[in-house]
Every structure is written in C-alpha cells, then in structure tokens.
Amino acid sequence: MLTQFNIAVSKELNLHFFLWNCCAIDLSARTVMVSEYEEMLGEIWDDFSILVNELQPKLIEAKKENPNINNEISQSLIQIGNVPVEYEYLNKYYFAAEIYFSEIWKIALPILKKQYELLSKQSINADKLENIEHDLEIFFGHETQDKSITIALRYSPEIYQGGNRVNSSLVAVEKNPIESSDDVDNFWLLVLHEYVHAQFENEEVKNKLRNYVQGKEKTKLMSHHGPRSLFGELIVSSFASSGYLAEKYFNRNWDNKFAAEWQQIQNKEKKVNINDLNPLRNLARLRLKPLINKYIENNKSFDAVFLDNLYEIINEYEIAAL
C-alpha cells in the first residue's frame, strides 16, 4: 500500500505558527516573517507586541521543560483545536491573539485555499512515489510505517519555504508562492524532506545513529545542534529535498551552485555562522548524493562507513568555515 498524502488547512495551527514566529522562541521560528507581520497589522502592531512580550517568557520556560512543545501544541491544535491540557494556561494568550491574527487570516485563508485546491489535484505520481518508497526502505533498512500522512499548510507572508515534522504522520509546510509546476515540485520535495525525517522514529535507525555518535568526539556543530539532530538533518537533506530524490525523481541538480558556494567558503569570500546549517547541508548534499546512489544500487542501508563520510564532511567544513 502506497502512502496517502492528505492536505489540510487549520486556522488554529496558523495562529500558533504566527505566535511562535513573533515570539522567536528558537531556530524553528521564522523570524524573517516578523517584519511582514508588522506591516500587515499596521497600527495595532504595538498593542500586539505587548501580548508577545507577555507570552514569550512563558513559552521559553515551557520549552526548557519540554523541548518538543512546538510539535505537541501543533498536533493538538490540528486534532482537537486546543492547546494540550498541560498548557491550558497559554489559552488566554491564544484567545487574545485571535483579534490580531484575524487581520492576517483575511489574507492568508484565500491563499491557502488556492494552494489546497492546486495541491490536492497535483500529488506525487503513484509510480514515482512507489519508487521513492522503495529507495527509502532500502537506505533506512525498514518499511515505512505510516501510510497516511497529513500535510498541514501554513501561511508565509513572503517568498519563503520551510516545514517541520510534527509527528510520524503529520507534517507542517509553508511555501510561497505555489503557482507554477516548479513550485508544486518544490512543495512535494519539502514534504518528502519531512517524510524522510520520520524514518528516524524507527528504533533500529535511532540506535544505529545513537551508537555511532556516542563513540565520536563532538565537533563544534555537534555540540551546538546536538549530535543526532545534526547527523539526522544532514542525512535527510542529502537524501531528500535538494539531494538524491530531487535529482533522481524531480530532475533537480544544484551541484554547480553548491560547489561554487563551498569554494567561496574555502576562500573566505563567504562568511557563515554556527546557527545557519544551509551551507553545510549543501556540502553534504554535494558529497553524499553519489554515495547514497551507490548504497541503494547495492541494496544496502546506511552504515558506520556512510556515517564516517558524513563525520569527515562536518570536520572539513568546520576547519574551513568556523
């Protein structure tokens, strides 16, 4: 049975996304959007900022106690329309924010409805999806578990694309614009990126990665982002969105762009910071894509040798860039 992707639009989830971004809780917040929100709210932005200043420390404190709070709130809002019971004290802030968010939602809803209609008609071709799942199961060494995935659309007020895996059967994605066939393909590559992330929920995969990183000296990036999180993100990026799947099934290749960026970094012509993983993602995609192809051709799942290659890439990047 092939995976079924179901598109959804949730006002409650978009309200949470709006608040999370404005409160800038962590690196998952799309702070690039905040200036756009401010322009959209106009004169009422100052009043809204008072609410944000009250909510922000409460979310920061809650995240210290539970690093997964963003996903747990997102899941609860989509499934039952409320924050989880243990965070009921946040409801008054969400209720108070609705009057401000309604100005955003007037603009967002027609856009998301249009995206919903377009994407519902233009899903991934069944034959392509079957081949993608085949490659996925070889490389990660297990069958995909969840065969029904909900894709919750989030509104982006500017040209932007991103997403996150809420749980193994729910991903949230923002993509602006979605108009051309290229936009549609890029959307599905975003979805596949988060779908591949879900493979790390498998206990065997978790253990394989956990056992490997425990035996390695932590680099700066491993310490800053967390070893398993960093390795997982780089593997997913190399396998999915701009890597192996993008080239094999969507005819997308950015090798020249990634190689030029790496040359700039090595020549000290481009500065990077420890919070921005995109240049490292791009280098990993460039280096690991042919290796992933070789593993799949040989019907082989990723192993310690593959992870050694990734570890060397991280070290090489840090020497050149940080």
Q: What is the mean pLDDT of the chain?
A: 94
- Contact by Cβ (8 Å): 194, 151: no
pLDDT confidence band for 25 (50 / 70 / 90): confident
Give the separation between CA 162 and CA 194, rounded to whole angstroms. 10
Report whether pLDDT(113) > 90: yes
Report whether pLDDT(39) > 90: yes
Q: What percent of the chain has pLDDT over 70?
A: 100
Handedness of CA 308, 309, 311, 316 (dihedral sign): positive
Give the separation between CA 148 and CA 35, rounded to whole angstroms. 36
pLDDT at residue 29, rounded to an integer: 84
- Return the higher-pLDDT residue of 1 and 93: 93
Average pLDDT over residues 7-23: 96
Give the separation between CA 32 and CA 167, rounded to whole angstroms. 25
pLDDT at residue 38, rounded to an integer: 95
pLDDT at residue 146, rounded to an integer: 72
Report whether pLDDT(112) > 80: yes
The burial of 131, by beta-carbon neighbours within 10 Å (0-12 exposed, 13-18 middle, 19 or more buried), is given as middle
The burial of 64, by beta-carbon neighbours within 10 Å (0-12 exposed, 13-18 middle, 19 or more buried), is given as exposed
Per-residue pLDDT tens for 44-100? 999 999 999 999 999 999 999 999 999 999 999 998 888 999 999 999 999 999 999
Distance of CA 318 to the CA centre of its chain: 23
Q: How many CA atoms lie within 13 A of 104 on its CB side?
A: 30
Average pLDDT over residues 117-137: 94
Report whether pLDDT(27) > 80: no
Closest CA to 20 of 65, 83, 114, 81: 83
Q: Which two tokens stand for residue 243?
A: 């890597």
Per-residue pLDDT tens for 168-190? 889 999 999 999 999 999 999 99
Report whether pLDDT(267) > 80: yes
Q: Please give the DSSP secondary-structure letter assigned to residue 272.
A: -
pLDDT confidence band for 147 (50 / 70 / 90): confident
Please list the alpha-helical segments (H only) found in the chain. 11-23, 34-41, 45-65, 69-80, 91-121, 126-140, 181-197, 203-214, 220-225, 227-239, 244-250, 255-266, 278-297, 304-321
pLDDT confidence band for 8 (50 / 70 / 90): very high
pLDDT confidence band for 5 (50 / 70 / 90): very high
From residue 310, give the alpha-carbon distance in Å to each of 100, 158, 218, 250: 45, 33, 13, 24
Give the separation between CA 218 and CA 220, rounded to whole angstroms. 7
Amino acid of residue 46: D
Per-residue pLDDT tens for 149-165? 999 999 999 899 999 99
pLDDT at residue 83, rounded to an integer: 92
Per-residue pLDDT tens for 191-249? 999 999 888 888 899 999 999 999 899 999 999 999 999 999 999 999 998 899 999 99
Q: How many CA atoms lie within 13 A of 154 on its CB side?
A: 33
Give the separation between CA 153 and CA 135, rounded to whole angstroms. 27
Strands 4-9 and 148-154: parallel
